[in-house]
Amino acid sequence: DQQVKQNSPSLSVQEGRISILNCDYTNSMFDYFLWYKKYPAEGPTFLISISSIKDKNEDGRFTVFLNKSAKHLSLHIVPSQPGDSAVYFCAARRDSNYQLIWGAGTKLIIKP
Amino acid sequence: DAGVIQSPRHEVTEMGQEVTLRCKPISGHNSLFWYRQTMMRGLELLIYFNNNVPIDDSGMPEDRFSAKMPNASFSTLKIQPSEPRDSAVYFCASSSGAAGQETQYFGPGTRLLVL
């Protein structure tokens, strides 16, 4: 049972435009969501997170939106840069449970 | 801060051999996680420790896999005997474990190839 789904295996965006990565979840008990970025031959690195008590969190070019009623979150990157080309993982966690549930990842390709 | 350290970075071994992967978490972190990443299954949690105690090992695929954390600064993941289907990238991650929304910090991974 995939509790966290990233339905787009890959996404190609022109440099300078907005990249939107999507993530859906099924467990309404999740209360904290994270986005990680992974370059080849490296471990995932934390990018941005959001608590379920919020619907938006912004950090520079990165903004995460949470729609709890739709059980959907999205990561917006604007403007997209070549260095943003990576695999992006969405992860979710329940309160008092350390285990993160991970999506399958979306490969973002920024075209020059 | 050196981050999470994993060794070796690459391992090539023959089927049936024992493989030991090592991890040094970030100093002060009290939660440690072992993950496996494959093309077919993505990122899977194998086991996690809190304060050196295994909390959830339900992700360990079978008895050939074992993990230990003898102290707060070291953990091992052992596969004995190894099989070709164990070929994957194995990540170790650590977090502060503080109440609230702790973030996991990943090591660079060990790329394992079992021939």
Q: Residue A33: pLDDT band by 50, 70, 90 thresholds?
A: very high
Instruction: Identify the three-state secondary structure at position A84.
Output: helix
For chain A, which residues lie within 8 Å of any Cβ of chain B, measuring from their own Cβ?
A: 32, 34, 36, 41-46, 49, 51, 89, 93, 98-100, 102-105
Residue with tokens 């051999």: B17
Model pLDDT for residues A70-112, shown as the tens digit of each residue: 999 999 999 999 999 999 999 998 866 667 889 999 999 999 9
User: What does the pLDDT read at residue B33?
Assistant: 93
Chain B contact set for A46 (CB, 8 A): 103-105
pLDDT at A13 over 60: yes
Q: Residue A47: pLDDT band by 50, 70, 90 thresholds?
A: very high
Q: Residue A8: pLDDT band by 50, 70, 90 thresholds?
A: very high
User: What does the pLDDT read at residue B101?
Assistant: 52
Q: Which of A99, A106, A107 to mutate to test the interface with B (most CBs of B within 10 A)?
A: A99
Give the amino acid at A24.
Answer: D
- Whether the CB-CB separation of B5 and B107 falls below 8 Å is answered with yes
User: What does the pLDDT read at residue B1?
Assistant: 63
The CA distances from residue B88 to A49, A75, B32, B42, B76, in Å, are: 27, 28, 19, 10, 16
Nearest-CA distance from B81 to chain A in Å?
26
Residue with tokens 């690459």: B10
Is B109 within 8 Å of A51 when comparing Cβ atoms? no
Query: For each of chain B's 115 residues, which pLDDT tens digit applies?
Result: 689 999 999 999 999 999 999 999 999 998 899 999 988 778 889 998 989 999 889 889 889 999 999 999 999 999 999 999 999 999 999 988 654 456 889 999 999 999 9
User: What does the pLDDT read at residue B100?
Assistant: 45
User: What does the pLDDT read at residue B56?
Assistant: 85
Q: Which of B34, B43, B47 to mutate to test the interface with A (most CBs of A within 10 A)?
A: B43
Q: Which of B110, B80, B102 is nearest to B4 (CA)?
A: B110
User: What does the pLDDT read at residue B15?
Assistant: 96
User: What does the pLDDT read at residue B2?
Assistant: 80
User: What does the pLDDT read at residue A86?
Assistant: 97
Q: Distance between CA B50 and CA B15 in Å, rounded?
A: 32
Q: The tokens of A83 are what?
A: 């260095």
Q: Distance between CA A90 and CA A65 in Å, rounded?
A: 12
